[in-house]
Structure 1
Amino acid sequence: MTVDRSIAPAFQIPDQIDFPKPLQRTLKNGVHLYFIPTPEIGAVKLEILADSPAMLGKQEKKLLAYFTLHMLMEGTQSKSSAFLDDFFDTYATEVEVLSTFEHQGLSLLTTKKHFHTVLPVFRELLTEATFPEKELAKRKSQKALSLSIMKEKTGHRASQLFRQELFGDQHTYGQIADEQDIAKIKRADLVRFYEKQLWTNVEIFLTGNLQDEDLEWIDRILGDLPVKEKKEMPNHFSNSNHMRIVEDRENALQSSIRIGCHLLPKSHPDYFGFWVFNVFLGGYFGSRLIKNIREDKGHTYGIYSSIGSLKTSDYWVVMADVIKENREEVIDEIYKEISKLQDELISEEELETVRNYLVGNLLSNFSSAFELISRFKSVHQAGLDLDFYKKQLEYIKTFEAAQIQEIGRKYLSKTQMVEVIVG
């Protein structure tokens, strides 16, 4: 039988998706390790993550965690920064800083062949960093220059002001660092944070072609890591009436816009509904905002809406850089598109287009073991498991226009929006 390749195969939504659950081990020091074996891949990725000061209810100097983490590669008690750079390059290994609002740590990406060689050296970064004064001064100078440059970028500044208004300027998430904050950082601060607080409530996420004996060896290397356990103090935020924040720049050709609010957590029954509402509005390249403000009016190259992830409550934001003269019209059109989704039922054609997009996008997020462990980590840190994605697929298959309309009405009110314009 000859296949007619001029006809695309019919799109089929899978009945269900089954994920291999990570294997969980507990190291000698009580640290939980989550492992997904990848027999077909010759790479190994290990991430070690701890709670940020904000998750522990602690107030620290601004940028303290940033400098501590970025100084770990500047030398250990037995190895110089030059040696470390050359060593990891020689063994085709990448070491990267991991940092979010709620977690911080390091990742190691290497080959299975070299894993046993590089992990002991990686281990030294976790407990034997020396934070040389000369390198710290250089890092501070570089960061000050970076802040000065980024301050001139309207998009960066708009995001800063949005976070500050959304979370409050007294909260870590809303604080804006400047050159004075950099000057306040001392080597003693880094040493104290490194020794007393950095490795608190640690978890390890691992993928690779590894066997039981490899996991036992990891326990020998990392099982004596001196970690701390402290009760988390998750942050709870709520919406209130906000004033618009405008920072005009006479010479700017465009304005950066941020509009958003606090949202419900991933564990909430309405989460999937709002997630779908967001996709219709501005969550993919065929969204309402793209078609209206980019394609029809030509006011911007890109505009999108997204959901930021936090443990107790996510947040939602629309982001765009637009021609300065059209910024008020763009903001009006954003609210018009929100209102349309709240007041008018979505057509069957658009409904099915987005449904098919969501299925394809969801499945593409699990095309490799590295992505699987990343998705697991995302829901695990929110107190959930991989069943979250099974429920997400089921919602995608069954949601109706009226559900999306109702959820949009329920959670998006103009009076609760943070509005920021810079430029």
Structure 2
Amino acid sequence: MTRVTDSTRAHRTAEEIGRTARGPRPLPPLGETRSVPLPAVATQTLRSGLRVLAAHRPGVPMVEVRLRVPFAGDEREHPARAELLSSTLFTGTAARDRVTIDDELAAVGADLDVGVDPERLQIVGSGLAAGLPAVLGVLADVLTGAAYPDAELARERDRLVERIIVARAQPRTIAREALQRKRFGDHPIVREMPAGPDVAAVEAEQVRALHAAALVPGGSTLVLVGDIDPQAAIAQVEQALGGWTADHPARELALPPALVPGDLELVHRAGAVQSQLRLSAPALPRADERYAALQLANLVFGGYFSSRLVENLREDKGYTYHASSGVEFVPGGAVLGVETDTATGVTAPALLECRYELGRLSMVPPTAEEVEAARRYAIGSLLISLDSQGGLASTLSSLDADGLDIDWLRDRPQRLQAVTTEQVAEVALEFFAPSRFTGVVVGDAEVVGAGLRALGGIG
């Protein structure tokens, strides 16, 4: 018998492989979605006001750390000082310099990173579970005694100014800042990136004063997830961070104003070869009973690659490589966002198609097949995101900030499964109507302005 080798077998294209004499090969049915067991979460508020959540999630001998501190400020200089504080928090204390901190963390396979935005300061990291006491020791020393050495702060200040200059030249940054101003006016939530001159003017004493006043435990949350004993971990936190105290709580960001529908703002960017389209409308917070239906409606519209918006703008028209929509949570609520970047020459047609798809979702509701595909994607991606220690820790921290807990997360797949096609159609009609939106278009106004104004709705 002659053996057919790879070199003698005729090559078949993907289309040929996918077809038979009777037509295309049918796709096999999708199997049942598997659940991801979620652990019990031990919760305790320490005397300092720090709220600690700890969960046992074995698999790898690691522990994930998420510290969230409300970090709002009204002053114009606050974002610059907060950004510089986050950049230099781990540069030294009275007992440890930067190298010592790095060495102690590395000895237990740990790393800790700091980030800040108008709402919160977050310390995120991981390390060997057996090294948790060492990680907490470093964290406690930094929280209670960060020194912000003059030389370290000056060096980081210069780097930060350079990074801001580069970032502010990026079209996406320009579009984000314009959209935030359009949505929330002069509310502190819009100050996501400080101005370079403000950063250059910050002195070390101002950073130290901000630390003392704002980096406090009351109202803060520490989440630990990993191969740990939850009660023992909470006891370790209480012992290590017992000296982190203050006579006032951390400052929460005030509620931003409600988003008001209206004309889009055209933001001129001379010589731009691309335009950034950013649309936004009010949405629902996670705790709302209709949020699951809104999530599915959003997926059908533009929330994943198989959505209507992507099919239209990318696959059919070729106007863009990327288009998406999603829900962004803000204090007291949420906003819906639609975004795409497109070539200057097709800016107006791309906006027309965005509006068309919004109207079509309202007037031509998602089909049962579209809803079912979105449902499977939503449940599957949720379970995948929770399958790791880090994913679970980040989700618990985010939910806790909204007053939700592990039970909300545990019931999430069932709530998504229970949503009907009719419920998705109802929220699509209410929340995706084009008249509910406002936003910005960033591009060369001399080139795109006439076409956009011909469409109407451009301020």
- The count of aligned residue pairs is 415
In the other structure, the counterpart of 1:62 is: 79
Amino acid paired to 2:430: K
Structure 1: gaps spanning 5 or more residues: 1-5
Look up the match of 2:310: 290
Task: Give the corresponding residue for 2:153.
Answer: 136
> How high is the sequence identity, in percent, across the aligned residues?
21
- Tell me the equivalent position of 2:164: 147
Spell out, residue by residue over 1:27-84, the C-alpha distance to the aligned partner (whole angstroms, 9 max, x if none): 3434221000123321112222211215xx7775232221112111121112222332
Q: CA–CA distance in 2 between the matches of 1:342 and 1:96? A: 43
| Cα distance per residue 1:369-388 (max 9 Å; x no partner) | 33223222222211122333
Name which of 46, 49, 62 aligns with 1:43.
Answer: 62
SS of residue in 1 equivalent to 2:105: helix
Match among 197, 216, 222 for residue 241 of structure 2: 222
2:322 to 302, 306, 311: 302
Choose from 198, 207, 211 the match for 2:225: 207
AA aligned to 1:119 is L
The CA distance in 2 between the partners of 1:409 and 1:32, in whole Å, is 40
Instruction: Give the TM-score of the pair, scaled to structure 2.
Output: 0.83
Counterpart AA for 2:220: V
Moved more, 325-334 or 119-128: 119-128
Provide the residue aligned with 2:185 in structure 1: 168
Shift of 1:162: 0.6
- Aligned partner of residue 53 in structure 1, secondary structure: coil
Could you give the per-residue CA deviations for residues 193-236 of structure 1, whole angstroms, max 9, x where no partner exists?
Answer: 10122224221101122234444233211122114426756415
CA distance in 2, matches of 1:83, 1:243: 55
Structure 2: which 5+ runs fail to align? 1-25, 444-459
Q: Residue 58 and residue 174 in structure 1: after superposition, are their counterparts in 2 closer, same or farther (change >3 A)?
A: closer
Alpha-carbon shift at residue 189 of structure 1 (Å): 1.5
| 3-state SS, counterpart of residue 90 of structure 2 | helix
Quote the residue 2:358 is aligned against. Answer: 338
**Matched position secondary structure for 1:73:** coil
1:123 is the counterpart of 2:123 = no
Contact 2:70 2:119 in 1 (8 A): yes
How far 1:92 moved relative to its partner? 2.5
SS of the residue corresponding to residue 146 of structure 2 reads: coil
Match of 1:354 in 2: 374
Q: Identify the match of residue 46 of structure 2 among 27, 48, 57.
A: 27
Structure 1 contact 95–108 (Cα < 8 Å) conserved: yes
Contact 1:273 1:404 in 2 (8 A): yes
Contact 2:77 2:198 in 1 (8 A): no
Q: Secondary structure at the match of 1:127?
A: helix
The answer to whether 1:196 aligns with 2:213 is: yes
Aligned partners of 1:249 and 1:422 also within 8 Å:
yes
Q: Confirm whether residue 368 of structure 1 aligns to residue 385 of structure 2.
A: no
CA RMSD of aligned residues (A): 2.5
TM superposition score normalised by structure 1: 0.89
The counterpart of 1:187, out of the listed 188, 204, 208, is 204
Q: Measured at CA, do residues 226 and 281 of structure 1 come closer, stay the same or move farther in structure 2, by a change above 3 Å?
A: same
Task: Output the amino acid matched with 1:94.
Answer: D
User: CA shift at 1:278, angstroms?
Assistant: 0.9
Q: Which of 420, 427, 433 is residue 400 of structure 1 equivalent to?
A: 420
SS in 2 for 1:286: coil
Q: Which structure is larger by alpha-carbon Rg, 1 or 2?
A: 2
Q: Which range is displaced more, 126-135 or 260-269? A: 260-269
Q: Which range moved further: 121-130 or 102-111?
A: 102-111
